[in-house]
Structure 1
C-alpha cells in the first residue's frame, strides 16, 4: 500500500491519499526508499502556501528530509544496497510511504542514530555546521550566542558550539524555562529567557562586558539589533532566518565601530551553487555524529494522517528540536 500527503491546492490542507501500488522505479543513479520518517522543515509549509522562493505545480507531495530503508537500487549505484538504513535529501515527495532518492544525496545512517532521530539530523545540523565553520570561522574557545536556541537549527548550533568547538560561553536565548532546560541538555553554558530578561544586559553579565564573538540568529526582527550591539570586537553575526516574521535593518556604523561582520547563509542553495561544500557539510555532521558529539532532539512525532495538525503545531512556534512525521503510525502517543 502506498500512502501520501498531497497538496492538491495551494493554501489548502493536504489530502491523505492511498493507492495499492506506489508505481515508483529508480533511474540508474537513484534508489527506491521505504520511508519511515520525514522531518518537517519550515520550507515544506511555505511551499504548500505558495510562499517559497521556488514553486512546485500541484498536485505534489511535500517533504525533503527523509529516513528509511533502501528497497531497490539503480544499476549505477555504488555506495548503497538493498536493506541499508539511510537519510536522504530529496526535492519533494517525502511525506509518503515510498520515494525516489538520488544516490549522491543519500547517506547511510551512523549506527548510533535510529531512523526517527535521523530525520532531524541533516538539515538542522548541516545548516548550523556550515554557518559556524565556513561563514563565521568559529574557533575553539570563542563565545557564541544562539537565538531561538530550543528550535531545530538553534539546538544544532548550541550542540556544535559546545561539543565540537568547546566554546567558552554557549549562550542560549529562548522563551521559557522548559526550552532553556532543553538547550542546557545540549551544552548551553548560560540561558537567557528573553520573555523575562533583557538580552544585552545578560550578555554583558555573562561575558564580563566583552560581548560575544559569534551570534547565530534564526529570528531576525528587533532582536537582531540587540545581538549586533552585543558583539565583541571583530565579532560576527549570522543571519539564518526570520522566525519573527520581520527582516531586520541595522545601522552599518555599528559594524564599523566593532570591526564586526554580518553575514547570511542559505544552506539549501549550496546544493546547487557549490555541491562539494554542501556534501562536505553533511559528511562532517555524520562524522561528528559517529564521534558522539551530535544527537538530534525530536520534540514531537505525528502520524502521516495528522500532517495538517503537525504543520499547525510547527507554525505555532511552540515546538522544540525537530518535529517528524511517522509513516508507520496512524496515531501518535507523544
Structure 2
C-alpha cells in the first residue's frame, strides 16, 4: 500500500511517499480502506518531534480518517465489512489502509461525504466535550459563549455547537473573510482581533457583564485578555496553544471574579495519554459521537472542508494550514 512515511523528525516536506506493508490487524481492531484523512496542527507537531507522543520510526502520520471497513478482527463485533465509518487513530492515517481500535470507530453520517466526515473524528468531539460535558463547561441556553479562532476547524465546531445549545455566540477571527465565515456558521457577533483588542468589544456586546463561557484554542495573550472580559462565575476552557505561548494563570483574577478554568485534552479519552483510557471511556465517547451524528443529520452541524489535497501533496496541505490560509479543515483525498 502507498503511504506518506516519516523517517526522521522534521517539517512536513520531509515526508516521503513509499510502498509499505499493510499494518497488522490486532484483536479488537478493524481495517479501513482510507478515503480521506485530516491534516492538523497537532500532526505537524508529531512530524516535527514536538508532540508528547512520539511514534517509532518509520511511521505514517495522521490520526483522523474516513473510509470503508474491509476487515475485522474475530472479536471486533461493532462493524462489518462494507460499513462506511470515520475513525481516530494513534497514527497511520496518511496511507491507503489503516487499522483502528473499534472503540475509536464510528458510523459515518449518510449525509456527509468522505471528506466532510473527517472533522467528526476530533474537531467536533473536542468542542462537544468542552461545551457539553457537565464536568467541563456545561454550556446552557442563553449564556454568552466567546469562541476564539472561530474560523478554524475546532473553533467553527464550537460556534455551531454553541448555537445548537441556544447560547449567544461571540466569535473572534482574523480578517474580514474569516469573520464572515464565522458569522455564516452561526456566530451572533464577530470580532476581528486584527483590528484591536477584543476585551472592550466583548464587554460592550454583553452589556458590561462579560462572557459566561470561553472556548480558547489559542492561549497566550488571548487567554489573559479573556479573563478580563468574563462574567463572575464564568468558565474558560483552554484546549490548545495555537498562538505558540502557554499562559501563566493569574490566580488572583480567578479568586476575585470566582472564575473556573478547566482544561480539555481530548487525547486522554482517545488513548493518547500514558494511561490508555480509550476502553474505560468508550461508552462516554460513543454517546458524544451519537449526539454529534444526530445533530449532523438534523442539519444543526455543518462540517466545512476548505479544500482537499492528494496524498502526495501533503506538504502543500500542511503549508496552507500553517500559513493560516484555511477556514474549517483541510483533508487529504485518497
TM bracket, shorter-chain basis: over 0.9
After superposition, the C-alpha distances for 1:229-260 in whole angstroms (9 at most, x for unaligned) are 10011111111111110111232121122111
After superposition, the C-alpha distances for 1:193-212 in whole angstroms (9 at most, x for unaligned) are 01113301111221111101
Q: How far, CA to CA, are the matches of 1:30 and 1:223 in structure 2?
A: 41
**Higher mean Cα deviation, 70-79 or 230-239?**
70-79
After superposition, the C-alpha distances for 1:31-50 in whole angstroms (9 at most, x for unaligned) are 22110000112221111111
User: Which residue in 1 is equivalent to 2:281?
Assistant: 275
Q: How far, CA to CA, are the matches of 2:263 and 2:59 in structure 1?
A: 30
Residues 37 and 64 in structure 2, CA contact (< 8 A), matched pair in contact too: yes
Residues 4 and 95 in structure 1, CA contact (< 8 A), matched pair in contact too: yes
User: Which residue in 1 is equivalent to 2:63?
Assistant: 64
Q: How far, CA to CA, are the matches of 1:84 and 1:278 in structure 2?
A: 19
User: Which residue in 1 is equivalent to 2:203?
Assistant: 204
Residues 122 and 285 in structure 1, CA contact (< 8 A), matched pair in contact too: no
Residues 200 and 229 in structure 2, CA contact (< 8 A), matched pair in contact too: no
Q: How far, CA to CA, are the matches of 2:174 and 2:9 in structure 1?
A: 32
Residues 62 and 94 in structure 2, CA contact (< 8 A), matched pair in contact too: yes
SS of alignment partner, residue 119 of structure 1: helix
Q: How far, CA to CA, are the matches of 2:53 and 2:32 in structure 1?
A: 25
User: Which residue in 2 is equivalent to 1:231?
Assistant: 230
Alpha-carbon distance, 1:133 to partner:
1.8
Alpha-carbon distance, 1:28 to partner:
4.1
Q: How far, CA to CA, are the matches of 2:159 and 2:213 in structure 1?
A: 12
User: Which residue in 1 is equivalent to 2:149?
Assistant: 148
User: Which residue in 1 is equivalent to 2:181?
Assistant: 182
Residues 68 and 83 in structure 2, CA contact (< 8 A), matched pair in contact too: yes
SS of alignment partner, residue 303 of structure 2: coil
Residues 22 and 97 in structure 2, CA contact (< 8 A), matched pair in contact too: no
Say whether 1:301 aligns with 2:308.
yes
User: Which residue in 2 is equivalent to 1:332?
Assistant: none
Say whether 1:317 aligns with 2:324.
yes
Partner of residue 287 from structure 1, selected from 263, 287, 294? 294
TM-score, normalised on structure 2?
0.92
Question: Where in structure 2 are there 5+ consecutive unaligned residues?
Answer: 271-275
After superposition, the C-alpha distances for 1:90-142 in whole angstroms (9 at most, x for unaligned) are 11110011111222211111111111100111201100011012201111111
Q: How far, CA to CA, are the matches of 1:155 and 1:183 in structure 2?
A: 7
SS of alignment partner, residue 264 of structure 1: coil
Q: How far, CA to CA, are the matches of 1:107 and 1:278 in structure 2?
A: 10
Residues 309 and 333 in structure 2, CA contact (< 8 A), matched pair in contact too: yes
Residues 267 and 278 in structure 1, CA contact (< 8 A), matched pair in contact too: no
Q: How far, CA to CA, are the matches of 1:269 and 1:24 in structure 2?
A: 24
After superposition, the Cα gap between the structure-2 partners of 1:179 and 1:209, relative to the gap in structure 1 and judged at 3 Å, is same
Residues 37 and 333 in structure 2, CA contact (< 8 A), matched pair in contact too: yes
Residues 34 and 65 in structure 2, CA contact (< 8 A), matched pair in contact too: yes
Q: How far, CA to CA, are the matches of 2:24 and 2:238 in structure 1?
A: 40
Question: Where in structure 1 are there 5+ consecutive unaligned residues?
Answer: 328-334
SS of alignment partner, residue 279 of structure 1: helix
Residues 65 and 121 in structure 2, CA contact (< 8 A), matched pair in contact too: no
Equivalent residues, number: 322
SS of alignment partner, residue 255 of structure 1: helix
Alpha-carbon distance, 1:26 to partner:
2.9
The residue correspondences of 1:39-188 to structure 2 (distance < 5 A) are 39-134=38-133, 135-163=136-164, 165-167=165-167, 169-188=168-187
Q: How far, CA to CA, are the matches of 1:23 and 1:323 in structure 2?
A: 25
Q: How far, CA to CA, are the matches of 1:223 and 1:76 in structure 2?
A: 47
